[in-house]
Structure 1
Amino acid sequence: MDLSGVELARAYHAQVVGPLLARRFPGMPYAAALLGSGSEVLGLDDAVSRDHDWGPRLTLLVPEGDVGRVERAVEQYLPGSFLGLPTRFALSGETTDQHRVEVSSTGGFVRARLGLDPRGGMAAADWLTLTGQAVLEVVAGPVFVDTAGEVTTVRRLLGSYPEDVRRHLVAVDWARIGEEMPLMSRSGDRGDDLGSRVIAARLVDAAVHLAFLLEGRWVPYPKWRGLVLGELPHTGEVVATLGGTMTAPAWRERQDALARALGALMDRQAASGLPTVGPAVVPFWDRPYLHPDPRVVDRVRACVVDPAVRAWPVRRGSAEQLATDVGLLGDPRARRRLVELTDGGLDGPGR
């Protein structure tokens, strides 16, 4: 099987699922796409991906009142195999083979991933409850049919953070890096190379998140962050210097590599239209350590216009800035509760 997941899904719709819908539900508006989780949604699957959770799959979004009827028809009329692949298979952690045509309404599908439907309006704080991966599960995969235009509308609304929210989150990432960068050097200087490397990994993760914000792109889950970031047009120096931070043999080289990475990020920040400082890093008191110039946080926050966002404390980041636990970040309700714990709570139409 040489088809990619996208090619397989497109053929599955064209040859099996689309004709089934045309026969059983003529004229019904619907969308067919490859959405949700899985490397194939991002176009990053390969031969290795096919050893589990891979096969003919599709997302069908139909009118709310038709979901049950379509589910029953799909269950009854799907063939047992397609292009030599079983159409029913178990996913990781499951024991029962099931078809992988997910049938939902547009609103139901989007709420299951995001915890809200952006078509109903979003308060600024609602954006903090999203993760890049959750949004990508809605906006990244190919859409084969969208007769009602509902998926197109949702994707337009989720194209990027509102500019004031993006500015705030950029400031949060600089603050996160500034808080821990001297600790990376301090622990290494005291002979704790392991501790220094652990902190370096945390700092690189924050810097990668910042890089995606500055490029106006949603950050995928960790497995693909480096690969996707490296494929963006202006991030070569950032990727190379962050890689050098991770491979540096000692704390001084580690600090210098991270300082170069932060300088490259500051250049990208200028290119994105946000205020900067120069140089990006400055000495930390009288010690031989470096940290980001603290003025950058206030300068970026000073550009925020929306009074609701201006009122947020700098520690009020997005869910993926506040936590790294995979289970928590994959649960829209848990993400919302996490953000509610920060100062200010949540309000507005998305609550």
Structure 2
Amino acid sequence: MNLFIPGLKLSQLFYQEVVSKLIQCPHAAALIGEGSEVLGYDQPRSTDHSWGPRLHIFVSRAEVEMVSMCVDSGLPDSFKGYPVRFFSWQNGTIQHHVHVTTLEDWLASQLRIHGPDPLTPQQWLSLPQQHLLQFTAGAVFHDDAGELTRMRERLAWYPQDIWLWMLASQWHLIGNMQPLIGRTAEAGDFRGSALIACTLVRRMMEMCFLQERTYWPYPKWFGTAFSRLAAAPKVGPVLDGILAAADTETQGQAVNQALIQLAERHNALGITPEIPPQIGDFQVGINGAVRPYPVLNAGSYVEACRKAIADSAMARLVPIGAIDQLTHADDALINFTSWPKRLNDGYAQELNSPAGSE
């Protein structure tokens, strides 16, 4: 049995000791894209399928064919005890995993980014966070022109207006859901109340990622990534209390405790005027109805975020959220369907139409 070497380290050594010696032209080398090792979460269990030394090599278009030939003919059969050629789930064959291409082609195929122009709002909103994370995580081992590094820096986080609108959307999603805990409990639907509380836990964790300007990964690593956030030591135990609560009253109190922490963290960001967190009865908003379910003043944070947005088209959008907030997209949707592209077109239509306003 091989001594486990984390994938990032294995790929770095593979580049330094083997692949770099096969390339005689300016290039960039990195481990990005899919895989737990790109996020730094791989374990010995990860090696049981489609795992081994791999790299992306970016060269000019004129050099792709020649560099590919040199790599194909120069790679050894194994490296550090791991086979260099192993199963590729993408095409179902045994092959090496040193992918030689241009940065332009990779961005076009993986992120639907064509050319050097800044991304449009609809592009940002329809790009799954997992895809952005796959490009900005991992590691760059070599970058002659600095182009790869600059692009990773450009995509490291959302522009300010996009971020503010996503924060507004997250507060909206939380605010719409919170009073349902009390209503389902009142109706005797304790299972339903617990499900709503679990949904709120997920949405509050997502808020922590947004507040810390960190892309969240797909569900397998969502909890692991959350545990590495600055919010986790304080917010995490309160969220654990929500999941473990034996009754709806305890559950509701813990939800409000967590939301107050998130409201305080929002104020600490300094991106909107400070809004004191307040817990009060739920204002239905119709016929002056008030229900005795204690909730946070989440709507105040929604409006503050929207007012801070400079782009008028963004500010007037109904705060439904970007693709991950709107769909909670899974691997099948973001990798194997046309929905991200179709959502790009949908966001563009909303941004350019008065019908997108409330």
In the alignment, is residue 344 of structure 1 matched against residue 341 of structure 2? no
1:320 corresponding residue in structure 2:
324
- Match of 1:203, SS state, is helix
RMSD: 2.2
Shift of 1:277: 3.0
Q: Aligned residues, how many?
A: 341
Aligned mates of 2:73, 2:337 — CA distance in 1: 32
> Any gaps of 5 or more consecutive residues in structure 1?
none
Tell me which moved more, 298-307 or 68-77.
68-77
Q: 1:72 aligns with which of 69, 72, 77?
A: 69
Percent identity between the two aligned chains: 34
CA distance in 1, matches of 2:232, 2:77: 45
The one of 152, 156, 159 equivalent to 1:159 is 156
TM-score, normalization by structure 2: 0.88
Name the CA distance, whole Å, in 2 between partners of 1:246 and 1:209: 16
Residue identity matched to 2:334: L
Query: Unaligned stretches of 5+ in structure 2?
Result: 284-289, 353-358
CA distance 1:185–1:93, shift in 2 (3 Å): farther
- What does the per-residue CA deviation read over 1:172-199, in whole Å, with 9 as the maximum and x for residues that have no partner? 0010111112223322333323322322
Which among 305, 309, 312 is matched to residue 307 of structure 1?
A: 312
- In 2, Cα distance between the equivalents of 1:288 and 1:47? 51
Matches within 5 A, 1:123-272: 123-272=120-269
Shift, 1:141, TM fit: 0.8
Report the equivalent of 1:279. Answer: 277
- Paired residues of 1:312 and 1:343 also in contact (CA < 8 A): no
The answer on 1:330 being equivalent to 2:335 is yes
**1:309, CA displacement in angstroms?**
1.6
Residue aligned with 1:90, SS: strand
Letter in 1 for 2:329: D
**Aligned partners of 1:157 and 1:100: how far apart in 2?**
27
- Residues 202 and 340 of structure 1: CA distance in aligned 2, closer, same or farther (over 3 Å): farther
What is the alpha-carbon distance in structure 2 between the residues aligned to residue 332 and residue 213 of structure 1? 26
Partners in 1 of 2:203 and 2:271 — Cα distance? Answer: 18
SS at match of 1:143: strand
Q: Match for 1:162: what amino acid?
A: P
Offset, 1:342: 4.9
Paired letter, 2:325: Q
Residue 289 of structure 1 is aligned with which of 282, 286, 293? 293
- Normalised by the length of structure 1, the TM-score is 0.90
Correspondence for 2:21: 19
> CA, structure 1 residues 331+168, in 2 after alignment: closer, same or farther (shift >3 Å)?
farther
SS for the counterpart of 1:291 is strand
Query: In structure 2, how many angstroms separate the alpha carbons of the residues matched to 1:174 and 1:91?
Result: 41
Residue 343 of structure 1: how far off its partner (Å):
7.6
